[in-house]
Amino acid sequence: MTAVVSLSGVSKEYPGGVIAVRDVSLTVSAGEFVAIVGPSGSGKSTMLHLIGTLDRPSSGTVSIDGHEVARLRDRQLAALRARRIGFVFQQFHLAVGQPALDNVADGLLYTGASRAERRRRAEDALVRVGLADRLDHLPHELSGGEKQRVAIARAVVGEPAILLADEPTGNLDSTSGAGVMQLLGELHHAGTTILVITHDRQIAASLPRQVAMRDGEVVSDDDVAGALAAGPR
């Protein structure tokens, strides 16, 4: 299958000699649903920044959707990030004074589509995440779970090659969190490639593949779906 994420011998060192990621190699194919799991300080947030092209590696190679990050100028990198990567964060990052429809439509500003087209596609995305009756609601009129669904709709409205979800249930109660994970599962079954960055091992264990990190290194990579597809040995 086509690789949408490819890391080869990647390390990230910050000033003062702090090594956040050390010699990591990882490939994620189109259509996978992967958890990157580890405790605070394990390097998983740095992995998010590297895979999301928010930061560049100190050494090694990062390729996203077939594009080698080191070969791209800042403007090209920004375009790749805007067009091919969707982000969902623990904090919802919704514009306070804008209804759900416009919060999602703003995810298409870079496309050059007309306002009417952006709003039409935003409505489709909100219907897809189960918020057909919340299009005109402002963020303060939405529950935490609904806000996260708006954020997910905004992330997928441009049909990115990969969706990066950073602790997507971190600010939610258990019921809302379960609903968000169910939604991500539905998006995965529809073909979206999803990486969930989490410290929650229960969430990680529910996903087909778990990449565990500790002290900046990948310490295990359990591909349950891949093993099942391969069959008995």
Give per-10-residue mean pLDDT for the chain (233 aa): 93 94 97 96 94 95 94 92 91 94 92 91 95 97 96 93 94 92 93 95 95 96 62 48
Question: Buried (b) or exposed (e) across 164-176, using 16+ Cβ within 10 A?
Answer: bbbbbbebbeeeb
Q: How far apart are CA 203 and CA 142, in angstroms?
A: 24
Q: How many helices (H) and strands (E) does the chain have?
A: 8, 10
Other beta carbons within 10 Å of 74:
7
Q: How far apart are CA 114 and CA 233, in angstroms?
A: 54
Q: How far apart are CA 208 and CA 34, in angstroms?
A: 7
What pLDDT score was predicted for residue 220? 96
Contact 138, 99 (CB under 8 A): yes
Alpha helices in 11-73 (DSSP H): 44-51
What pLDDT score was predicted for residue 233? 43
Q: How far apart are CA 66 and CA 152, in angstroms?
A: 24
State pLDDT tens for residues 124-171. Answer: 999 999 999 999 999 999 999 999 999 999 999 999 999 999 999 998
CATH number for the region 3-93+161-230 comes to 3.40.50.300
Q: How far is CA 70 from CA 27, 56, 67, 86, in A?
A: 17, 7, 9, 20
What pLDDT score was predicted for residue 147? 96
Residue with tokens 């490819």: 6
What pLDDT score was predicted for residue 2? 86
* Torsion sign, CA atoms 80, 86, 88, 91: positive
What pLDDT score was predicted for residue 223? 80
Q: What is the enclosing helix (H) or strand (E) of 109?
A: none
Q: How far apart are CA 43 and CA 46, in angstroms?
A: 5
